[in-house]
Amino acid sequence: MTVDRTVKRRRAQRVGALALASALGLLAPAAAAAPTEPEAATATYELTTTPALATNPLKGFLPFAPEPGQTAEFADPDFPYSMEWFYLPVDSVVTGEGTYDWTAVESRLDAIAERGHQSVFRFYLDYPAQESGVPDYLLGPDGISQDRAYDFFDNDGLSFSPDYDDPRVVDMIVDFVTAFGEQYDGDPRVGYVTAGLIGFWGEDHTYPMDGVVSDENPTGEDWMPSQATRETIWDAWDAALDDTWLLARYPSEAVKGHGFGLHDDSFAYATLPTTDWHFLTRVIAEGMQDAWQQAPIGGELYPPLQTCLFDDPLSCPDAAAEIADGRDYNFADSVDQTHISWMMNHQAWATGYTGQSRERAVAASASLGYDLAAVQGSVTQTAGGVDVTLDLENRGVAPFYYDWPASMVLLDAQGEILAEAPVDANLPSLLPGTTTTVSATLDTAALDLTGATVAFSVPNVMDGGLPLRFANATQDADRDGYLTVGAVPALAEVAPVAAPVEPAPVVPVAAAAPAGAAVASPSGDLAATGASTTSLGLAAAGAVALGGGLLLMRRKAHAGR
């Protein structure tokens, strides 16, 4: 067999050159892989909780507001509060049949709002020891009867109890309620409205003129309106208010059906279900013991108890005898069983408390209503945004009853907002002893997240109002009114990884050519340059491209071999 040793040698040289090129990395034809998209980075934060906060919107103790333009003369102006109370007679607004002047309401709402507080109030027609609140157009020779004057409650005939069933009175009340709703339903300055209008102080009772024979009522007269009149008035309130909570003094089938809240104006005195006329006894009898889950409970700490109930030992006069007679004198149990959110306690400011009595009073105020805390947060950074989840719990006795908008934000190192996203927190559904998870995704395109943190906020819907604050150590840590969840974790740097590639095709080497003749590669881009019988130069323009480098080969010609 004849062997062409020259061809065989050339093949061997070609294979050697290719092996050398491969060893040098010159035959890797794939370009360096593009950097891999960064992986997500997640940080989980366990949030430290604190005791319930004494200053939070729409809950706690509240004082009577001073008259507009006046300064409150408080013995303890630093006792915490977020709302203020006022009464107004109906005739301060109703100036004629179907005509209204809201100046008295506006001046009070504005003055209270300027102090960063929201208002709770009531209108009355009959306030013992005050001039009548019945509008002037219903008085006079052709007006309604004023025969129900009385002397008890230090009234001495100054005011009178109108006939609430007189059609002129009913029409006036319904028209007033309708106009009030048109003016103030959903007004952020208004926290709660108590129904008022009927009875002494607008408290929905005319005791002792309640149909029971007594020394003050020897004939057993009943000055309260008929059931039909009451239903008409409740219907008017329900039609007037959709976004502002209305609270009734006593539970009833109508109050339950309309979904109104309740207020107990003898709180911690005649509250617990130990006597047939106590507040909770009536609530249970009407099947409204769970009404607090949807509608707020408020009231007033029974005035004689306001100065003494937080002393230890109890310093209220005649307390032992009254307790034996069935009265409560029990603040904590009354709170737990009513699920009350707010109450008037004017003496906390007017006379004030000292020492441990003050500490107990502040804690008692904080124990009302909701007590929200965050327990865990998760912050995940991806290439396009930051995903946040936050677990909230309610440690209080009631929910937060208004569905205020919430937001999740990114803060820079100076506490300035970089990005914001709305959050559907649905706080009214967060009942005591339950938890919920809120979430948001924040767009971080083109943002520098160095030193950035995530925070959560439920701002007050009233300009200048107190934000809802959470009972956490990081509340207000980086920005006032915001709960800091935690820092945004940095994305890990991921080294680029080359994808596997197919080997490049081998470029065959042509047989020897005469001097000066062109030698072309299969791709047609290689050319001989001044070739001689001793060397073949490959110009850069016609070089073999191997893995982004140039392989220049020189071969010796073995002529005649």
Tell me: the pLDDT tens digits for 218-272?
Answer: 999 999 999 999 999 999 999 999 999 999 999 999 999 999 999 999 999 999 9
Confidence class for position 492, pLDDT limits 50, 70, 90: confident
**Structural contact between residues 400 and 58, judged by C-beta atoms closer than 8 angstroms:** yes
Indicate the average pLDDT of the chain.
87
**Where is mean pLDDT largest: 377-386, 507-516, 548-557?**
377-386
Mean pLDDT of 8-13: 44
Token duo for residue 320: 């032992």
Give 29-52 pLDDT, tens digit per residue: 445 555 555 689 999 999 999 999
Give 74-104 pLDDT, tens digit per residue: 999 999 999 999 999 999 999 999 999 999 9
pLDDT for position 39: 80
DSSP 291: G
**Rounded to an integer, what distance in angstroms lies between the CA atom of residue 132 and that of residue 156?**
12
List residues bridging with 438 in a β-sheet: 390
pLDDT for position 493: 53
**Structural contact between residues 411 and 478, judged by C-beta atoms closer than 8 angstroms:** yes
Domains and CATH numbers, the chain: 1-33+514-561 (no CATH), 41-50+371-487 (2.60.40.10), 57-249 (no CATH), 264-365 (no CATH)
H helical segments located in 75-209: 103-114, 167-184
Give 325-356 pLDDT, tens digit per residue: 999 999 999 999 999 999 999 999 999 999 99
pTM, 2 dp: 0.82
* 539 vs 511, more confident: 511
Q: Pairing mode, if any, of strands 435-443 and 417-423? A: unpaired
pLDDT for position 38: 65
pLDDT for position 500: 53
pLDDT for position 358: 98
**Rounded to an integer, what distance in angstroms lies between the CA atom of residue 369 and that of residue 335?**
9
Region of poorest pLDDT, from 63-77, 278-292, 543-557: 543-557
Confidence class for position 414, pLDDT limits 50, 70, 90: very high
Residue 71: exposed, middle, or buried by beta-carbon count in 10 A (0-12, 13-18, 19+)? exposed
